[in-house]
Amino acid sequence: MSNVNAILAGKTVLVTGASSGIGQSIAIEAARAGADVVVTFRSNRAGADETAALVRQLGRKVTVHALDIADDASLEQFTAALRREGRPIDAWINNAGADILTGSGAKLDRRGKLDLVLAVDVRGTVAASWAAVELMRAQPPGGVILNMSWDHVGHGMAGENPVIYATAKGAVEAFSKSLARDVAPHIRVNVLAPGFIETAFGEGASAEWRTHVERITPLGRWGRPEDVAKAAVYLSSDAAGFVTGQTVKVNGGVVV
């Protein structure tokens, strides 16, 4: 593949929850930047296969794995498969998270929602990060871990879902900052904190809410999954080689 901006050339990027939305966009953007890609999914195999096909169209290698980061056995099987493949993972991006805004998760009561996001977004992210550390410590190049938070965790937002989401994503941010200190200098750890992004939730929002978001956003629009993906590519690359323990908000300036 010819790409003068291939800042991830020669690298392998792993993206959890890459079957749709931000995760799919990160996988595609990483391939566009020259990386081979490892795609994981929990239940949406068709979406993962679509992501893989788009990566291949960009001339990059891709493998697809089922993974439930909230299930220790699933994570162990997955990391064992990575070891058998025998190639370094240069960047491990923990994008997978529980959806309490749409689908079946939105129908849970607040304790059910809390249990779900703690199991997936917090415990799952911690466990997946530890798995990434074990792999990266055994490879000479080291590596990069990116975890996903939320731009409002330090700002606050009223409402049942925001309260639950902030609880989980605030924990992810705190964990990641300490992990960055713990695994330096061999491994870099950073956090991406998206704001209002046009994923399934944004696409299904009312016209009134969409207009409200545009009005409160200094850059005047909703974010797109590729906005987050481009930040992920930068943080995964050697261009960010002196960046660790940081949170990058991708939110058009809503929270600064």
Is the pTM above the cut of 0.85?
Answer: yes
> What is each CA distance from 22 to 25, 101, 137, 191, 224, in whole angstroms?
5, 15, 27, 14, 8
- Where does the pLDDT of residue 2 fall: very low under 50, low under 70, confident under 90, or very high at 90 and above? very low
Q: Which domain holds residue 54?
A: 12-250
Among 41, 92, 150, 165, which one carries the catalytic annotation? 165
- Where does the pLDDT of residue 141 fall: very low under 50, low under 70, confident under 90, or very high at 90 and above? confident
Is 255 inside any structural domain? no
Mean per-residue pLDDT of the chain: 95
From 57, 38, 58, select the one nearest 48 (Cα to Cα).
38
Is 2 inside any structural domain? no
- Locate 151 and state its tokens: 């731009």
Q: Domain containing 59 — which CATH number?
A: 3.40.50.720
Is 5 inside any structural domain? no
Is 241 inside any structural domain? yes
Q: Do residues 182 and 209 touch, judged by C-beta distance below 8 A?
A: no
Residue-wise pLDDT for 58-77, tens only, equals 999 999 999 999 999 999 99
pLDDT at 138 over 50: yes
Is 184 inside any structural domain? yes
Q: Once rounded to an integer, what is the mean pLDDT over residues 105-114? A: 95
Q: How many domains does the chain have?
A: 1
Pairing of strands 143-148, 187-194: parallel
Is 6 inside any structural domain? no
Residue-wise pLDDT for 217-244, tens only, equals 999 999 999 999 999 999 999 999 999 9
Is 103 inside any structural domain? yes
Residue-wise pLDDT for 201-211, tens only, equals 777 778 998 99
Q: 169 CB contacts (<8 Å, ≥6 apart)?
A: 121, 148, 149, 150, 153, 193
Annotated catalytic residue 165: yes
**Taking the alpha carbons of 251, 128, 135, 61 in that order, is the dihedral positive or negative?**
negative
Is 190 inside any structural domain? yes
Residue-wise pLDDT for 211-222, tens only, equals 999 999 999 999
